[in-house]
Structure 1
Amino acid sequence: MDVVPMGPGFAAELRGVTLSDIARDDAAYAAARAAFEEHSVLVFRDQQVTDEIQLEFSRRFGPPEVTKVGSQGTGSHFVILSTIGPDGKVVPPDHRLVLRNRANQLWHTDSSFKRVPALTSILSARIIPAHGGETEYVSTRLAFERLDAPMRERLENSFAWHDYAHSRSQIAPDLASPEERAALPPQCWRMVWKNPANGRGAIYLASHAYAVEGMEPAAGSKLIDELMAFATAPGTSYVHQWRKGDVVMWDNRATMHRGRPWPSHEARLMVRTTISATVADGVETMRPPSSQAAE
């Protein structure tokens, strides 16, 4: 297996290996896991992807999430990201599926709004548009390391609140359904996630973040906005140009990502599995001491 660095200081392509190799071979998994901890975003090209292979590969990294209410794939281990309706045709631009895809074009990290946040997401390309639809990534680890020492120390002792409904309201007021709001109450997490494998910290934020514990709402929102802008500054991102058979996985503890738009008449079908963070991934260190903390 060859690890070929990509992007501005993070991301790498893994060559000479398949998802099945990593799922079934301990040595291949160990090498892939080491690359994941170092580079945060891993690209696999020309994979023969099926739901079964993707799930087998995903389980190697930890327990897969069950897809939340209100999503395509609810109750399974798959999130279906598609603009194809039940009739097999591309849905119109004002369809709810399109609005949900538009929400994914905000900078975010997956599952920060859940009681158990995510270690990694694995996304496979099944149907891709001829133009557009790229996914853009930034390293919040490198962003954290660019901050001055006083700000790093401040963030290490700060906590932010995350809410799914908050990010969705930026697209449409009722995009998060009552069922989703009830199932996904706000969660509070430390603003820096330190990787137990290498000790490196990363800013833990997303479009789901709306408040900083102990700060006035306006001041907390301003700090979040400033950190988001800092982490996503021009020249800091890796933009993945999708090809059919691509699989990309990323570390939700150390990156943010967003989708890019594509022509509304072109179909796109992507399938995501998401792996919950465990004690070994440092999730326990993220919980605030307050009784308001996420369970």
Structure 2
Amino acid sequence: MSITIKQLTPGFIGEVSGIDVTQTLTSAQAAELEAGMDRYAVLIYHDQRFSDDQQKAFSRNFGALEDTASATIVTGRRLDADMADVSNLGVDHKPLARDDRRRLFNLGNQLWHSDSSFKAVPAKFSLLSGRVVVDAGGNTEFADMRAAYDALDDRTKAEIEDLVCEHSLIYSRGLLGFTDITDQERASFRPVRQRLVRVHPASGRKSLYLSSHIGTIIGWPMPEARAFIRDLSEHAVQPRFTYSHKWRPFDLVMWDNRATMHRVRRFDETQVRDMRRTTVAGDSVTAEQLAA
């Protein structure tokens, strides 16, 4: 059976069938799936019953895995550094208490963002496996940053072409009032610089590189920068640019952080929601970094 990718929304979301990605891929299969990513930016695979090792092995077809340790608050881990724990569970595998510090930090995932934009070399792909999903809520929404860029007027495109933004987890968590950050975490979350407009290395398409992690635009007064980024973000997440994924057990969703934003929606956190993400590392900076 050959790989089939069904278009779910025009030019954006693809649904993959005809392959079991828990098994070893050929180089041709991996290349076909990567080409699908270059076209759609989000691919959905159903009924992929991964072990952690199988998910890591599949992810490595597209590049080296990113170390996820610097993307979390300093706390106990259920999973190793090659896999991000995007669940609502503690080390005892039970739902976190409402006032648990890790839960409060992770509420930032409900804001529109791009994974690892707060790292000097930002992420390429993210791959999220739904091991245990909830009955209601918990959808993951995606926004097509290529289509959002294309829809801008020429004057705005010219204005943003060379702008550079500062990204940090401190900024996104601060939007929610989470300021309980240790000195060690503050050092780990030191702001980095990213271009506001990116060019996809395979397709050549331009896209907006937006995220709740943005705190300012280099050379702009911060209030003006934040107001402008808010305007761009409101434009980019209009319904015509977005898709909401309702999770089935053992879905795998794979997205390109260079061309999308995403967020999770609220759900009943007394229920178990076990989601595990591998992240394929990027290979270049988008902007020159401030000297240490």
Q: TM-score, normalised by structure 2?
A: 0.92
Amino acid at match of 2:56: L
Residue 107 of structure 1, aligned match among 105, 112, 115: 112
Q: For residue 290 of structure 2, what is the aligned residue in structure 1?
A: 292
CA distance in 2, matches of 1:109, 1:84: 23
Deviation at 1:178, TM superposition (A): 2.8
Residue 7 of structure 2, aligned match among 5, 11, 21: 5
Superimposed CA distance per residue, residues 223-260 of structure 1 (whole angstroms, 9 cap, x where no aligned partner)? 11111111011342111111111000101001000000
Stretch of structure 1 that moved more, 91-100 or 232-241: 91-100
Q: For residue 244 of structure 1, what is the aligned residue in structure 2?
A: 249
Mapping for residues 1-295 of structure 1, pairs under 5 Å: 1-7=3-9, 9-20=11-22, 23-69=24-70, 70=73, 72=77, 76-278=81-283, 283-284=284-285, 286-288=286-288, 292=290
Runs (5+) with no aligned partner, structure 1? none
CA distance in 2, matches of 1:159, 1:46: 40
CA distance in 2, matches of 1:270, 1:144: 30
CA distance in 1, matches of 2:162, 2:93: 50
Amino acid at match of 1:67: T
Task: Describe the shift of the 1:166–1:74 C-alpha distance in structure 2 as closer, same or farther (beyond 3 A).
Answer: farther
Q: Tell me how large the CA RMSD over aligned residues is.
A: 1.8
Q: Is the 8 A contact 1:164 1:176 kept in 2?
A: no
Superimposed CA distance per residue, residues 111-140 of structure 1 (whole angstroms, 9 cap, x where no aligned partner)? 011121100111000111111111000001
Q: Is the 8 A contact 1:125 1:246 kept in 2?
A: yes
CA distance in 2, matches of 1:84, 1:197: 37
Q: Is the 8 A contact 1:66 1:74 kept in 2?
A: no
Q: Is the 8 A contact 2:65 2:278 kept in 1?
A: yes
Q: Is the 8 A contact 1:66 1:75 kept in 2?
A: no
Task: Describe the shift of the 1:50–1:113 C-alpha distance in structure 2 as closer, same or farther (beyond 3 A).
Answer: same
CA distance in 2, matches of 1:155, 1:143: 13
Amino acid at match of 1:120: F
Deviation at 1:175, TM superposition (A): 4.4
CA distance in 2, matches of 1:248, 1:89: 24
Secondary structure of 1:244's counterpart equals coil
Amino acid at match of 1:124: S
Secondary structure of 1:48's counterpart equals coil
Q: Is the 8 A contact 1:90 1:267 kept in 2?
A: yes
Size of the alignment, in residue pairs?
A: 286
Q: Is the 8 A contact 2:22 2:48 kept in 1?
A: no
Task: Describe the shift of the 1:74–1:266 C-alpha distance in structure 2 as closer, same or farther (beyond 3 A).
Answer: closer
Q: TM-score, normalised by structure 1?
A: 0.91
Q: Is the 8 A contact 2:78 2:90 kept in 1?
A: no
Runs (5+) with no aligned partner, structure 2? none
Amino acid at match of 2:113: H
Q: Is the 8 A contact 1:84 1:268 kept in 2?
A: yes
Deviation at 1:150, TM superposition (A): 2.2
CA distance in 1, matches of 2:25, 2:257: 24
CA distance in 2, matches of 1:275, 1:67: 10
